[in-house]
Homo-oligomer: A and B are copies of this chain.
């Protein structure tokens, strides 16, 4: 079998599918790309135990099958070691690449004056994906919206193995709005977006691995295109033009996180998000290992209102940030929290102005975009300090 492809598109497809390939993966065949040829298209597959990425590209010359191939149904192809394949595709300089597959699993790559012969493995040895027969639920979402939602929420999912369920992002559709929720039990992020009324889909709920969603946000092009999300009993598939991501779902009962939102507040303030973010980044530099940062109502002289951020240790030194806020009301504020986590929240927030709300005792700090009907809410547990 012989086929011709564009060097640029081949390299792009290998890079995209390669995002799912991990050298930590226990199954050696998953250190390779599955290359499949069918009619006028080629598919590059990369995977690990949790997720699989499929990247497609058109063939410039249709597949020419030899007699033996043409008797077999389905695609022709092989599995080829990932690191060599990406490096070779990167370094080829001619615009066209010819791929030739013999009966044995050997791939010949010809381009310009180069001829590579690479030893691969049989297509059949690559793990089968679960069958895609019975779709339980389907929804189509614009790529830009999906990327933005993931970026606002997925960072808050846990990266620890202790409570695997919290490494997932809760995805809940109520028939008109899609909501993503993540928490690692110290911080909590939630965002809802109304999906156009033309979408007629049933309510649905699933827990999707946070890492897979983060990869999806990187994979999706910032175009006018859409992604179709299809859920099956044990896994979910995200399908956009030329790229698909499939991952297993997490099973269990997601904690009832909405109950954590305090019912009343003793104080609140609004500030410029970017200004607060930059001050938070600077203060966190001296906050040490525990990343403890203190926020308190500043010395408010005259008409302008200020808050202060404080951090430091006896050995290194200390820092005080003096920040003008748009508005402060309620009791005097004096709270401590993880500065890195607050930095993450301010960075993820899609709003130029942030509202911070404080409640009694050690109730969590609430951060929201300033908006008549906020669609995002972030919670951050307070740290009890001696002073």
Contacts of A322 in B (CB 8 A): 113-115
- Whether B282 pairs with A316 at a CB distance below 8 angstroms is no
Q: A320 at interface (Cβ–Cβ under 8 A)?
A: yes
- Whether A285 pairs with B88 at a CB distance below 8 angstroms is yes
Q: A198 at interface (Cβ–Cβ under 8 A)?
A: no
Q: A131 at interface (Cβ–Cβ under 8 A)?
A: no
A343 to chain B: closest CB distance in Å? 11
Contact with B along A272-316 (1 / 0, CB 8 A): 000000110110011000000000000000000000000010011
- Whether A282 pairs with B92 at a CB distance below 8 angstroms is yes
- Whether B278 pairs with A115 at a CB distance below 8 angstroms is no
A318 to B91, CA, bound (A): 16
Q: How many copies does the complex hold?
A: 2
Contacts of A279 in B (CB 8 A): 113-114
- Contact (A91, B282) CB under 8 Å given A113-B322, A322-B113: yes
- Whether A81 pairs with B316 at a CB distance below 8 angstroms is yes
- Whether B282 pairs with A321 at a CB distance below 8 angstroms is no
Q: A116 at interface (Cβ–Cβ under 8 A)?
A: yes
A272 to B278, CA, bound (A): 51
Contacts of A321 in B (CB 8 A): 113-115
A104 to chain B: closest CB distance in Å? 12
Q: A222 at interface (Cβ–Cβ under 8 A)?
A: no
- Whether B119 pairs with A315 at a CB distance below 8 angstroms is yes
Contacts of A320 in B (CB 8 A): 114-115
- Whether A84 pairs with B114 at a CB distance below 8 angstroms is no
Q: A87 at interface (Cβ–Cβ under 8 A)?
A: yes
Contacts of A371 in B (CB 8 A): none
- Whether A114 pairs with B316 at a CB distance below 8 angstroms is no
- Whether A319 pairs with B114 at a CB distance below 8 angstroms is yes
A317 to B118, CA, bound (A): 4
Contacts of A113 in B (CB 8 A): 279, 321-324
Contacts of A375 in B (CB 8 A): none
Q: A23 at interface (Cβ–Cβ under 8 A)?
A: no
A319 to B107, CA, bound (A): 11
Contacts of A171 in B (CB 8 A): none
Contacts of A281 in B (CB 8 A): 91
A8 to B319, CA, bound (A): 21
Of all chain B residues, the one with the shortest Cβ separation from A117 is B317
A387 to B260, CA, bound (A): 73
- Whether B282 pairs with A115 at a CB distance below 8 angstroms is no
Contacts of A317 in B (CB 8 A): 84, 106, 116-119
- Whether A282 pairs with B114 at a CB distance below 8 angstroms is yes
Q: A93 at interface (Cβ–Cβ under 8 A)?
A: yes
- Whether A286 pairs with B93 at a CB distance below 8 angstroms is no
Of all chain B residues, the one with the shortest Cβ separation from A323 is B113
A285 to B91, CA, bound (A): 9
A365 to B88, CA, bound (A): 27
A109 to chain B: closest CB distance in Å? 9
What would 28 A/B residue contacts be, using CB atoms closer than 8 Å?
A81-B316, A84-B317, A88-B282, A88-B285, A91-B278, A91-B281, A91-B285, A92-B282, A93-B278, A113-B323, A113-B324, A114-B320, A114-B321, A115-B319, A115-B320, A115-B321, A115-B322, A116-B286, A116-B317, A116-B319, A117-B312, A117-B317, A117-B318, A118-B316, A118-B317, A119-B315, A119-B316, A119-B317
Additional A-B contact list (15), CB under 8 Å, known A117-B317, A118-B316:
A84-B285, A84-B316, A88-B282, A91-B281, A93-B278, A113-B321, A113-B322, A113-B323, A114-B279, A115-B319, A115-B322, A116-B317, A116-B318, A117-B318, A117-B319
A residues sitting closer than 8 Å to B (CB atoms) are: 81, 84, 87-88, 91-93, 106, 113-119, 278-279, 281-282, 285-286, 312, 315-324
